[in-house]
Structure 1
Amino acid sequence: MADNPAAEIQLLRSQKAKLIDILSGDADFVLQHADSRCLLSPNGYQQVKACRVPCEKVTELLDHIIQRGPEAVQGLLELLNEPALQETFPMLSFTKDLHVDMLSSGIQETSRKRKSAPDLEDSVPSKQISNNGSSLVKEKQLLIVARTIGRSWKVIGGLALDIPNVKLEQIEEDHSLHVDRVFAMLRHWRNSQRGKATASHLHSLLSQGDFDLPLENIDFLLEND
C-alpha cells in the first residue's frame, strides 16, 4: 500500500470520470466483482444494485468505495488490474501504469511530480481521438442509436458488431429494459474496439445488413466524425 493513504483516494478521484465512462459498459459485472472482494457494505451493495442506469450505478459504486476509505480504494485499484476486468474492458489498460506509479513512488516523489507536472486530469485529452484521427463515438451518440434499434438488437450485435452470443445473453439477463440492453451492447462494442470505435465505423457496420434499421436515424453519426 502507498505510504500516503490519501494519495490512493486522490488518484481514484482524478480518474473517476474516465472510469465511469469505461465501466458503464457492464456495470453489473463490475459490481459483482467488487462485492466478491467485500469492497462494499451490505447496505452499499443494495444501494448500488438498485441504480438502473449503468453510468449512475458505476458512479454510486465509486463514491461508496471512496467513502469507505483508502483500504477499499486500494482493493478497487487492484481489482481493476485483474485479468477478468482487463479483458472485459480493454480501455482499462491505463490503470496498470497508474497503479505502479502510485505504489512505487514515495511521498517526496509524489510531491515532486505535483509541482513539475500537470494533474492526471489535465493530461487526459477532452476529446478522444482514434488511431486514424477520427473522433471516437460518444456516449450520447450510443444512447441515441440504442433508442433506434428495435427487437432485432441481438441479431445486430452478433452479425454487425461481432459480439459473442454468450455476451449478448448475459446483457439480456443483466438488464430488464430494452434500451438498457441495447446501450450495454453498444458500449461493450465500443470498449472492445478501442481506437477503432469511431462514429463512422459504427454507422458503416449498422448500414451493411438488412436489420430493419432506418438509416436516416443513424446518419447523424457521420455529421461530426
Structure 2
Amino acid sequence: MAEEPAAEIQLLRSQKVKLIEILSADADFVLQHADSRFLLSPHGYQQVKACRIPSEKVTDLLDCIIQRGPEAAQGLLELLNDQAVQETFPGLRFLNELQVNTLPSEKKEMSRKRKIAPDLQETISSKQTCNNGSGLVKEKQLMTVACTIGKSWREIGRLALDIPSVKLEEIEEDHSLHKERVFAMLRYWRTSQRDKATAAHLHSLLSQKDWALPLESIDFLLETD
C-alpha cells in the first residue's frame, strides 16, 4: 500500500490551480524568494528560470518543490505565509485559515501565530527566545551557525545532529556552496526535530565531544533577544 503524502504536499497539490493563478502575477518574484530559502536544487532553479510563460514557471516551481518532499513543501508554505509575500500577492491570505483546518495538530499552532498582528507576534517571539535559548531556533541563527562550521560539517551532521548519510549526500549534490550546504543541513535538523528544535538544544549538540565548536562562536544561541 502506497504511503500517504505528507500534509504539506497534500495542501500544495490541492491548491495548485489556485496558487498558479495567484503567483503568475509575478512569477520571478516568488522564484527568487524560493531560491533565497534554498527550496530548489541548482538544477531545479535553472529549469524553472528558463520558463518564459509565467503560469508555466509557477507550475514548474510547485512541481519541483513538491518532488523534493515535505521539508521543501513546508518551506514554501512558510514563504507564502510571509507578510511581505502576502502584501505582494493578497490572494494568498486564504492559506492562513486553510492551513489551520488541514495541517496536523502540531502545525496548527504555528499557523495560528502567523495570524497574530505583526507587532504582537514580534513580542511573543522575543519572549520565546529570552529564556536561555528555550525558543525555537530561527533561520537567522541557523545561518550564523552555518558560517562557523567548517569542513567537518558531514561529521557534525551524522554524529551531532543524527542526520542520515543519504540525506547529507543529497544536500551536497543540491548545493554547490559550502555555506548553503551547512545551512540546508541545519534547516533539515530543525524540521525533523519540530518542537524540540530550540536554540539551547542546538547549542548543546554542537558543544559536545570531538566535534564541539568553539563556544564563543555558538554562545549567542543562549543569549536573549
The normalised TM-score by structure 2 is: 0.55
**Unaligned stretches of 5+ in structure 1?**
42-64, 99-109, 114-119
CA 1:173–1:207 in 2, change beyond 3 Å: closer, same or farther? Answer: same
Partner in structure 2 of residue 32 of structure 1: 44
Q: What's the offset of the Cα at 1:218?
A: 0.4
Which amino acid is 2:24 matched to? I
**Unaligned stretches of 5+ in structure 2?**
1-15, 82-90, 95-110, 130-134
The whole-number CA distance in structure 2 between the counterparts of 1:3 and 1:9 is 10
The whole-number CA distance in structure 2 between the counterparts of 1:157 and 1:28 is 19
Q: Do 1:8 and 1:74's aligned partners in 2 also have CA atoms closer than 8 Å?
A: no
Once the two structures are superposed, residues 140-189 of structure 1 have per-residue CA deviations (whole angstroms, 9 ceiling, x without a partner) of 22222122223221111001111111222233344444333322222222
Partner in structure 2 of residue 181 of structure 1: 181
Report the 3-state secondary structure (helix = DSSP H, G, I; strand = E; otherwise coil) of the residue aligned with 2:40. helix
Q: Do 2:160 and 2:211's aligned partners in 1 also have CA atoms closer than 8 Å?
A: no
Once the two structures are superposed, residues 80-116 of structure 1 have per-residue CA deviations (whole angstroms, 9 ceiling, x without a partner) of 4x3x333343624848x99xxxxxxxxxxx7xx7xxx
CA 1:154–1:2 in 2, change beyond 3 Å: closer, same or farther? Answer: closer
The whole-number CA distance in structure 2 between the counterparts of 1:202 and 1:76 is 31
CA 1:218–1:175 in 2, change beyond 3 Å: closer, same or farther? Answer: same
The whole-number CA distance in structure 2 between the counterparts of 1:155 and 1:7 is 43
The whole-number CA distance in structure 1 between the counterparts of 2:29 and 2:44 is 24
The whole-number CA distance in structure 2 between the counterparts of 1:149 and 1:4 is 37
Which amino acid is 1:91 matched to? Q
Q: Do 1:90 and 1:194's aligned partners in 2 also have CA atoms closer than 8 Å?
A: no
Which amino acid is 1:70 matched to? S
The count of corresponding residues between Structure 1 and Structure 2 is: 170
Which amino acid is 1:217 matched to? S
CA 1:164–1:3 in 2, change beyond 3 Å: closer, same or farther? Answer: closer
Partner in structure 1 of residue 72 of structure 2: 89
Provide the identity percentage.
Answer: 45
CA 1:175–1:76 in 2, change beyond 3 Å: closer, same or farther? Answer: closer
**Quick check: 1:9 aligned with 2:24?**
yes
The whole-number CA distance in structure 2 between the counterparts of 1:207 and 1:168 is 21
Q: How does 1:124-135 map to 2 (within 5 A)?
A: 135=135
CA 1:17–1:201 in 2, change beyond 3 Å: closer, same or farther? Answer: farther
The whole-number CA distance in structure 2 between the counterparts of 1:160 and 1:212 is 9
Q: What's the offset of the Cα at 1:78?
A: 4.7
**Quick check: 1:148 aligned with 2:148?**
yes
**Quick check: 1:171 aligned with 2:156?**
no
The normalised TM-score by structure 1 is: 0.55
Which amino acid is 2:56 matched to? E
Which amino acid is 2:171 matched to? I
User: Greater RCO between the two (CA within 8 Å, min separation 6)?
Assistant: 1
Partner in structure 1 of residue 10 of structure 2: none
TM-align CA RMSD = 4.3
CA 1:124–1:86 in 2, change beyond 3 Å: closer, same or farther? Answer: farther
Report the 3-state secondary structure (helix = DSSP H, G, I; strand = E; otherwise coil) of the residue aligned with 2:202. helix
Partner in structure 2 of residue 68 of structure 1: 53
Q: How does 1:187-198 map to 2 (within 5 A)?
A: 187-198=187-198
Which amino acid is 1:9 matched to? S
Partner in structure 2 of residue 207 of structure 1: 207
Report the 3-state secondary structure (helix = DSSP H, G, I; strand = E; otherwise coil) of the residue aligned with 1:148. coil
